[in-house]
Amino acid sequence: MGHDIDQYWQKIRDGDEKSLEIVFKKIFAPLCKYTCQIIHDPFLSQEIVQDTLLQIWQNRDEIKIRNSFNAYIFQSVHNHALNALRQLKTKKQSVNHPGSDEIWQFIASHYNVDDDLAEKIFSDETELLIQKTVEELPEQCKRVFRMSRFESRSNLEIANELDLSENTVKTHIYRALHKITEILKKNN
């Protein structure tokens, strides 16, 4: 999947807006999705992704890509997102993250981008596989996971609505994620 995007780099470098448009339309949504994991704000996520891509476009003459274009974009968005998070923290604005420095440090030190993830996040195939896995989960587990992942509900909200304990909610989420990790491992 990555090479799909990689093949446009040379043209983008030459200033071809058409290629930029193709790449933009292909990667915009997945990048927003990723950014949103970090900063928990869909609107800001779009801003960040746009800004990163704009910067890449404006600096295209100076950028040297060692690995893949795909991974480069991903790393840039990742850095932007972390910076945004830090910025939001210093500004003490409300981010849906618990507001401690420890968490920030934690994310900064553990939320690394690996090329694999970059590859997968742009891949329609991975998305389908995950969808299928979620479909096949036991009913209650599926319900909890969907509320958590797709409706962005908090564990507490889910627990209250389904009359479960918070720990049970977490266990359901763990089981669903565990299934997905198996798919990811197999797919490697």
Partner 1 sequence: MKKTNITKEDINLLIVSYLTNSIDTIDIARLTLWIQANEENRRYFNLFKDAWVLSASFTGSSAGSTEQNWEVFKHKLSAPERAEGISFKKRYLKNFQIAASWLVFFVLGSVVTYYLTRNSVVSPANPVSFMVPLGARSNIILPDGSNIWLNAGTTLSYDQNFGQKERIIRLTGEAYFDVASDKERPFIVQTSGIDVHAIGTKFNIKAYPDENTISATLEEGKINVSFNGESKNSKIIKLTSKEKFIFFKTVKKSEIYTESTEENTRPKIVQTTELPDARILTNVQTELYTSWKDTRWIIEGEPLGTLAPLLERRYNLQIVFVDDELKKYKFSGTIENETVDQILNAMQLTAPLKYKITKDTIRLNLNRNYKDQFGRIMNRKNTN
Kind and range of the H or E run holding 68: none
Q: Name the 3-class secondary structure at 166.
A: helix
CB nearer to partner 1: give 101 or 163.
Answer: 101
Residue 48 to residue 89: CA distance in whole angstroms:
16
Residue 106 to residue 160: CA distance in whole angstroms:
29
Task: Write down the least CB distance from residue 81 to partner 1, Å.
Answer: 9
**Residues in 66-95 that interact with partner 1 by CB under 8 A:** 66-67, 71-72, 75-76, 79-80, 83-84, 86-87, 90-91
Beta-carbon contacts of 187 under 8 Å, excluding residues fewer than 6 positions away, are 120, 126, 129
**Residues in 23-62 that interact with partner 1 by CB under 8 A:** 24-25, 28-30, 32-34, 36-37, 40, 42-48, 50-55, 57-59, 62
Stretch that binds partner 1, among 1-9, 123-131, 135-143 (CB under 8 A): 123-131
Which tokens hold the place of 185?
């491992």
Nearest to 119 by CA among 33, 53, 30, 36: 30
Q: Do the beta carbons of residue 73 and residue 50 sit within 8 Å? A: no
Task: Write down the least CB distance from residue 163 to partner 1, Å.
Answer: 18
Options 11, 142, 149, 162; binder of partner 1; rule CB under 8 A: 149
Stretch that binds partner 1, among 3-11, 101-109, 135-143 (CB under 8 A): 101-109
Which tokens hold the place of 37?
């994991």
Options 5, 39, 121, 137; binder of partner 1; rule CB under 8 A: 121
Which tokens hold the place of 178?
């565990």
Q: Does residue 167 belong to the site contacting partner 1 (CB under 8 A)?
A: yes
**Residues in 6-25 that interact with partner 1 by CB under 8 A:** 17, 20-21, 24-25
Task: Write down the least CB distance from residue 69 to partner 1, Å.
Answer: 11
Q: Does residue 124 belong to the site contacting partner 1 (CB under 8 A)?
A: no
What dihedral do alpha carbons 151, 152, 156, 159 form, nearest 10°?
A: 30
Q: Does residue 161 belong to the site contacting partner 1 (CB under 8 A)?
A: no
